[in-house]
Structure 1
Amino acid sequence: MTATTASGVRPSTIVYACIVAASLVAFLSFGTRTSLGIFLEPVLQARGWDRETFGLALAIQNLVWGLSQPFFSAWADSKGSVRVLCSGALFYVIGLTGMAFADTPLAFYIFGGVFNGLGVAGASWTICVGAVTRIVPPAMQSWIAGLAITASSLGQIVLTTLSQGFIMVLDWQTSLLILAGCTACIAPAAMVLLLARKDAIPAPRSSVSETLKLAAGSRSFWLIVFGFTICGLHAGFGFTHIPGYIVSIGLPPEAGAMAMGALGITNLFASYTSGALGQTRSKRKLLIWIYGLRAATMLAFVLLTLDQPLMLALMAVLGIFWMSSIPPTAGLLGQIFGPYYIGTLLGVVSCGHQFGSFVGAWLGGFIYDRTGSYDLMWWICAALGFVAMVANLPVKEKPIEQAVKPAVS
């Protein structure tokens, strides 16, 4: 059976062009964000700061991202995604450029934390998913979420590797300026989305505020938020501190880039597969398995003695359960509340995720500076992973029907 758009026709070349453009935005935005952990060691060596200072900057970034994401998402759902993505690109360029020249912790917090946080929120994968799910048929929506995360993972692999190479060949400041140039390309890519406005699905009778009230009264919604908040803590710790953790156990700095690449490669395929499975399998059960197996993998980092090959193998396994939680999360929200305001709902859920990321990025540095080891943080991450697994057991997948506005001729 051929897939059709909401308007009843097969997806056009323009629709597929928009899918590619949104994927490119996710590639550039998330790839840049996840590469920033590579800069920990060179920045600390150049500035003489401690790990908590660097970790707090990225923690602020995650917090600002989380707090601003619902507003950017609601703005995109009501006024269109293009202007939101372009504003995100502008914030990103300012933040990365400022990071390169910040010579005090306060300046580093402002540019690396506040401006980059606004940049990644305005140009986030949630905005991309929200834009594209309104122009594709329901059968493709879980796949779209998986594709966005796959593009994000590919960005992590490519931009993390390139950043490490630029740092080694040039220097860390030039590398940040190159990343700023990459994020500037988000704006022209976003313009492509203007071409498919006529293919958008009709809006439901309920407004965005009414949909948010409906979600707020749903126990399942808050269980999803709770589990995703723990997921954010894992991500904040991992993206900020795993490169530093690898150096702390006696492995060379380039092993950090290799580790993030290994995580990104398996994450790329796992996220796509997760999105595809979400079209035919229970999304709740997918989340339960993903959170539980991620937690079990994290235990191995403190229970085993790691050399470089074993560390890379563990990072590859961790990548299978890393961002593969996002497609079933997005799919659950669309299945329960409908696809039209999925961007706004993802923004609210991402607020919890980024609060967790704030805690993970800061707490990892706090624990290391006081204990000289990341072991306690790995134990905390594993324990909370099992909590997230249990939290998703009572989630109800039954859709909540919403009336649709009649088409206006």
Structure 2
Amino acid sequence: MLQVLLCAGMVVTLSMGIRHGFGLWLQPITQDMGWSRESFSLAIAVQNMAWGILGIFVGILADRWGAFKILIAGAALYALGLAGMALAPTTWLFILSTGLVIGAAQSGTTYAVVYGVLGRQIPAARRSWAMGLTAAAGSFGQFFMVPVEGALIAQLGWSNALLALALVVLLIGVLAFGLREPGFGKGQALAPRTQSVREALKEALGHSSFVFLTLGYFVCGFQVMFIGVHMPSYLKDFGMAPQVASYSLALIGLFNIFGTYIAGNLGQQLPKQYLLSGIYGLRALATVLFLLAPLSPWSVYAYAAVMGFLWLSTVPLTNGILAQIFGVQHLSMLGGITFFSHQLGSFMGIWLGGYLYDSQGNYDMLWYLMIVLGVAGALINLPVRETAIARPALATTPKA
């Protein structure tokens, strides 16, 4: 179990740590290349949509064949996408590499695939804790990697910094060896199937709690990616030094370590749906207070710390509920579907941020949407129920 936890945590640390710093490249790239903020935002938005859409199918493959091959391919694509991001001469090639290629890579190197391994390898009594610990590792990646990325940009220039990260991300392929599962390479699924993919999809889509979780995850994606991509530029527009943005993103990562770990632990003891509702409600309240307070580095740091504590706390709770209701046979696929909604929200938060800034000259409307969606997320999660689904006796013949 220790090997699985260590390798899963390090994979997420690298994959999520790198992508959380993409907002630091917005101004250097757009200013150097003469592109609009909407163009950069569209590329990152496409990345999130590609990640979400492909994550469903990658989840199906990971559930059937294990995570090893998926992680190897994902690491190679991630490196290719970062190199393309560094060298793309036009906005369309930039969108192709930054959006489609890196998005595909992230679908195979982040939570849906890794949590599928944890769900199958970690006992149910420790599952929520293990997912929280792994999410905390992703948060540490943000805390550690964002300042490193900022330093790389300052020392090497934005293009060479991306090429350096392309080499670093290949370590995910090495870590994949620690996540090989029984049945790997033998031409068979990891466990006999008592449900087909079609049956599992029909069951989940007809379950109200699955629908509510999926809708709630939209809110999470919108909020975290608007802040992650546009907060650095928002602060610079108000004349703040670049390090304020780097420190604020690092603070989000630091406090997220504690938030996700605590959420995973609390999920073993308290109803997860109420914890999720509280997280979304507190995000809305924190944003209201941030907008009402005079803007200063200290108000930014305070907001970053609070939002960091709430940042990815939704991840172990949402996936824990999925495992509790539906079991682990199709966990990567079901997690991929809910995560698609997360990425749809991410697309809207990123793209709307760039579009409305270019058209209105400010981010005011996006901040108001952050608040409204936070309240909606709090209400949507209240009806969720964690009770394991009651199924009729299933045939013993394995299904594809």
Q: TM-score, normalised by structure 2?
A: 0.94
Contact 1:59 1:362 (C-alpha < 8 Å) held by counterparts: yes
Q: In structure 2, what is the Cα distance between the partners aligned to 1:325 and 1:81?
A: 23
Question: What is the CA distance between 1:235 and its match in structure 2?
Answer: 2.0
Match of 2:95 among 103, 106, 109: 109
Match of 1:186 among 167, 172, 179: 172
Contact 2:293 2:299 (C-alpha < 8 Å) held by counterparts: no
Question: What is the CA distance between 1:92 and its match in structure 2?
Answer: 0.6
RMSD, aligned CA:
1.8
One-letter amino acid of the counterpart of residue 232, structure 1: G
Q: How many residues align?
A: 393
One-letter amino acid of the counterpart of residue 350, structure 2: A
Q: Which residue of 2 aligns with 1:210?
A: 199
Q: In structure 2, what is the Cα distance between the partners aligned to 1:302 and 1:52?
A: 24
Any idea what the Cα deviations from partners look like across 1:246-285, whole Å, max 9, x if unmatched? 1112211121110001111111110010001101110010
Match of 1:332 among 321, 335, 341: 321
One-letter amino acid of the counterpart of residue 100, structure 1: A
**Deviation larger for 227-236 or 66-75:** 227-236
Q: Does 1:124 align with 2:110?
A: yes
Q: In structure 2, what is the Cα distance between the partners aligned to 1:406 and 1:188?
A: 37
Contact 1:291 1:389 (C-alpha < 8 Å) held by counterparts: yes
Q: In structure 2, what is the Cα distance between the partners aligned to 1:401 and 1:94?
A: 45
Question: What is the CA distance between 1:196 and its match in structure 2?
Answer: 5.6
Q: Which residue of 2 aligns with 1:174?
A: 160
What 5-or-longer segments of structure 1 have no aligned partner? 1-14
Q: In structure 1, what is the Cα distance between the partners aligned to 2:390 and 2:80?
A: 43
Match of 1:30 among 16, 33, 40: 16
Contact 1:61 1:112 (C-alpha < 8 Å) held by counterparts: yes
Q: In structure 2, what is the Cα distance between the partners aligned to 1:127 and 1:81?
A: 6
Closer, same or farther: CA 407–278 of 1 in aligned 2, 3 Å: farther
Question: What is the CA distance between 1:183 and its match in structure 2?
Answer: 1.2
Q: In structure 2, what is the Cα distance between the partners aligned to 1:404 and 1:284?
A: 29
Closer, same or farther: CA 203–303 of 1 in aligned 2, 3 Å: farther
Q: Does 1:84 align with 2:70?
A: yes
Other structure's SS at 2:121 match: coil
Closer, same or farther: CA 195–217 of 1 in aligned 2, 3 Å: closer
Q: Which residue of 2 aligns with 1:296?
A: 285
Match of 1:320 among 291, 309, 315: 309
Match of 1:381 among 361, 370, 373: 370
One-letter amino acid of the counterpart of residue 9, structure 2: S
Question: What is the CA distance between 1:37 and its match in structure 2?
Answer: 0.9
Q: Does 1:57 align with 2:46?
A: no
Show the 5 A alignment for 1:197-346.
202-203=191-192, 205-346=194-335
Other structure's SS at 1:225 match: helix
Question: What is the CA distance between 1:201 and its match in structure 2?
Answer: 8.4
Any idea what the Cα deviations from partners look like across 1:328-373, whole Å, max 9, x if unmatched? 1111111111123211110000011101111111001111112221
Q: In structure 2, what is the Cα distance between the partners aligned to 1:348 and 1:186?
A: 24
Other structure's SS at 1:134 match: helix
Contact 1:93 1:183 (C-alpha < 8 Å) held by counterparts: yes
Q: In structure 1, what is the Cα distance between the partners aligned to 2:174 and 2:211?
A: 36
Q: In structure 1, what is the Cα distance between the partners aligned to 2:397 and 2:144?
A: 43
Contact 1:73 1:347 (C-alpha < 8 Å) held by counterparts: yes
Other structure's SS at 2:389 match: coil
Match of 2:356 among 353, 364, 367: 367
Q: Which residue of 2 aligns with 1:70?
A: 56
Question: What is the CA distance between 1:380 and its match in structure 2?
Answer: 0.5
Q: Which residue of 2 aligns with 1:96?
A: 82
Q: In structure 1, what is the Cα distance between the partners aligned to 2:219 and 2:313?
A: 14
Q: Which residue of 1 aligns with 2:344?
A: 355
Closer, same or farther: CA 360–322 of 1 in aligned 2, 3 Å: same
Q: In structure 2, what is the Cα distance between the partners aligned to 1:296 and 1:203?
A: 47
Q: Which residue of 2 aligns with 1:12?
A: none
Q: In structure 2, what is the Cα distance between the partners aligned to 1:109 and 1:320?
A: 31
Question: What is the CA distance between 1:83 and its match in structure 2?
Answer: 0.5
Any idea what the Cα deviations from partners look like across 1:169-223, whole Å, max 9, x if unmatched? 121111111111121111110111226669x985451223211111011111111
One-letter amino acid of the counterpart of residue 338, structure 1: G
One-letter amino acid of the counterpart of residue 382, structure 1: I
Question: What is the CA distance between 1:113 and its match in structure 2?
Answer: 0.6
Contact 2:81 2:98 (C-alpha < 8 Å) held by counterparts: yes
Question: What is the CA distance between 1:91 and its match in structure 2?
Answer: 1.1
Q: In structure 1, what is the Cα distance between the partners aligned to 2:197 and 2:229?
A: 34
Other structure's SS at 2:169 match: helix
Percent identity (aligned):
36
Q: Does 1:145 align with 2:145?
A: no
